[in-house]
Amino acid sequence: MKQITFFITLLILSLSVFSASNVYTTQNNTTLRLDKSSVAKVLKILPKDTELQRLTMHYSGWSQVRLNDLSGWILSKHLTLTKPKNTNNIVAKSSTNVDNNKQSELINNLKKSLENLQFTNKAFMSKIIDTEALKTKISTKNNTGLTLLEQKNTELSSLINDLQSQLNSVESDNNINILFSLILGLIIGFIVARLAQKKHDSFNTISRSY
């Protein structure tokens, strides 16, 4: 009985020492699961030679392991204590690849956002150019209309001045004609009066001769 108890104790101690060690995956696409079951949730797919810390071994053939802050279960047959010769730190490389993928995805998203912003900026610049062109066109049209109005106003003012000059000239000529007619009338009146006087004098002379 004592021998059996000693053997069981020794087996438990050996398993504890064996379990609390670093192990490595023996094949690619090794599945890290949430529980010790082939239908349990998959936490991560690990490549070959990934370094893990084994926390415990279960008689069912599963080992509980830790990968950074992630812990789960892997079939013990897919693990080995032998450290790969050509791999220094698979976990670090895997983390680096994940970080690189995230950075690449972030860069691609930033590039897409930049392209969208550049496209939007071009659209706004095109609208600004069209607006400025329309503004210039309207301003030019208004200036042209104003120039035409100013020319018409100048021509109309010149025409008014010409008409005023002609009117003044006509009025001046009319005044001269009136004055001339008045003088002519006076002269004619004087001549008629003289003729009438002579005729009257002649008539008186003939009357006295009889």
Per-residue model confidence as pLDDT tens digits over 26-76: 999 999 999 999 999 999 999 999 999 999 999 989 999 999 889 999 999
Binned at pLDDT 50, 70 and 90, residue 13 comes out as: very low
- Residue 158's φ and ψ, nearest 5 degrees, are -65, -40
- The C-alpha torsion from 166 through 171 and 176 to 177, rounded to 10°, is 100
Question: Does 201 have pLDDT greater than 80?
Answer: no
- What mean pLDDT comes out for the span 147-157? 83
**Predicted model pTM:** 0.36
Distances (CA, A) of 43 to 32, 40, 69, 141: 6, 9, 12, 73
Binned at pLDDT 50, 70 and 90, residue 208 comes out as: low
Question: Does 210 have pLDDT greater than 70?
Answer: no
Q: Which residues contact 3 (CB under 8 A, 6 or more apart)?
A: none
User: CA nearest 32: which of 75, 90, 69?
Assistant: 75
